[in-house]
Structure 1
Amino acid sequence: MNELQSDGFGAFAVSDSHGPGPRLMGADTLIGNSVVNHQDEDLGTILDIMMDVRAGTISYAVLSYGGILGIGDKLFAVPWDALTLDTKNERFTLDVAKERLEASAGFDKDNWPHVADQTWGKDARGGNGTQASALPVS
């Protein structure tokens, strides 16, 4: 893409896009976006987006929940395909009850899971809840 095709905010015009928003977006435009559930309850913000470089795909988003100004928050690995971009409100929707986040262990910023471990990645994607850091998503 060249600069003429970009809107200057990381969103790129793509003629074959069939969705409500741009098909290609810069990751930096998504990091920091809020996440809500279908009951419009605040679930936190997108802290990071983790890519599988070898496969060329987004593996999961890191959801930051709770805390104040990044202190005391819990982090969760959320499968990328579990998030729905709400372009009208510039946020994501995730089908998870707020109580589930509160009850889940998550991980903190100083103790990230060993992401090279194939088991951890599978658990984060599958949402089977066997890893505290992976958010079970139905």
Structure 2
Amino acid sequence: MYSATKEFRDAEVDPQRLLDVVYDVEDYPEFVKGVRSVTVQNRGEHDLVARFEAGVGGMTFDYTLFVERTETEVRWRRIKGSFRASEGSMVFLGEGKFRYRNAMDPGFAVPGFAVQFVLERSLPRLIKEFRRRARERATEASS
């Protein structure tokens, strides 16, 4: 499996708000580039199962993730769909520091360096999208 990890600091965003944004997958089509639709199929107290339809490079992918939320982490893993395997997490490490990790095995013929490149390139964009959304929610909450 190929993976990419990035640590970052954000003292301006409440950690719980940022983790909530990551966990609220049904909102992704509004702000995450490439995500076309998300349908939550099952929701528990601290977990959910959601079907995603996303497009990358002219290709459409359909996959289902199991997503869990704790006080300090949101983690996900593929349970069916387009990829052989996919998993990741956003972890609050304390003092405004976070670690975001995404890993995948596409399950079809593609050069490993290309998969690694896409993962490494997408992390900064995804982090930026999540942080922007968390700031928007903070602004909405204060008005």
TM-score using structure 2 length = 0.27
Select the structure that is richer in strand. Answer: 2
TM-score where L is the length of structure 1: 0.28
Structure with more contact order per residue of length (Cα contacts < 8 Å, sep ≥ 6): 2
